[in-house]
Amino acid sequence: MEDEANLEGSTNKIVRIAETESQQLALLANASLLAEELLPRAAMKLSPQYTSGVDDPRKRVADRQNRAPEQREWKRKLQRSIDRLRDSFCRQHALDLIFSEDGDSYLNADMYINMDNTVEEPDWAPSPIFQELYAKLNRMANIAADMFVGRERFATLLMKRLTETVILWLSGDQSFWEDIEEGPKPLGPFGLQQFYLDMQFVILFGQGRHVQQVIYDMIDRAMAAFSSTGMNPDSVLPSDDWFIDVAQELSVE
């Protein structure tokens, strides 16, 4: 029991060391390298066809066939472990973006609804949380370019998954949509325009059809909530070119 406690304590210390984005990405890079390349190579070298010294080609083929199901299952387990590590990484960084240390949300319905408390038109730009998401993805992409040499696909999937985690959280946030659709204060023209702008901004850097479809569904939902007030969204929203131009101003800086 004492040994197990010491081992658990050592493991916790290792996890706590990976506090910065660079350290956490390095952990992911090393784990994926182990799972995808180093461990499979080591397992191959330890297989009977390498250790027995048998030169009979037919026996080597038979050995490979007998061990193939076991090796496939082993690889699947390794991949699931890496996927869980990646998802945990994305979930933690998404929560860090969405919530403050005190538990207050940076992504809530009030940030859109309260925009119509004034008649003065705001200076249009994507909301801070989505600007921070974009900045975080750029930072991580630059770090990952050095760490995932030869395994760029893993880095790309990681960035895609982080964006997806934030968008799916917003899509599934029941309190957000209850306030937008049924709250005491309706979504106004400025709030709708800001939400549309934020979603168009994410589309610029968000990868994958699934993420984009979720975004389009949320836009439709926000427009339906606005329409329920008796106003036509098309009468208050600028053209799509306006949204793209404003969103691209930040994405090219």
pLDDT digits (tens, 9 = 90+) for 192-213: 999 999 999 999 988 788 999 9
Give the pLDDT of residue 129.
96
109 φ, ψ to 5°?
A: -65, -30
Q: What is the pLDDT of residues 54-76, one digit of tens each?
A: 555 555 555 555 555 666 676 77
pLDDT at 65: 53
Which residue has better confidence, 217 or 71?
217
d(CA 74, CA 68): 10
Give 141's contacts (C-beta < 8 A, 6+ positions apart).
155, 159
**Quick one: pLDDT at residue 134?**
94
Per-residue pLDDT band at 126 (split at 50, 70, 90) = very high
Quick check: helix, strand or coil at residue 240? Answer: helix
Beta-bridged to residue 99, according to DSSP, are 105
Distance CA 117, CA 188 (A): 9
The answer, yes or no, to whether residue 16 has pLDDT greater than 50, is yes
Grade residue 3 by pLDDT with cuts at 50, 70 and 90. Answer: very low
pLDDT confidence tier of residue 145, bands split at 50, 70 and 90: confident
- The three-class DSSP label of residue 237 is coil
CA atoms within 13 A on the CB side of 103: 0
Q: What are the helix (H) ranges across the chain?
A: 2-17, 21-33, 39-46, 48-51, 57-98, 110-113, 128-147, 152-171, 174-182, 189-205, 209-227, 233-236, 240-251
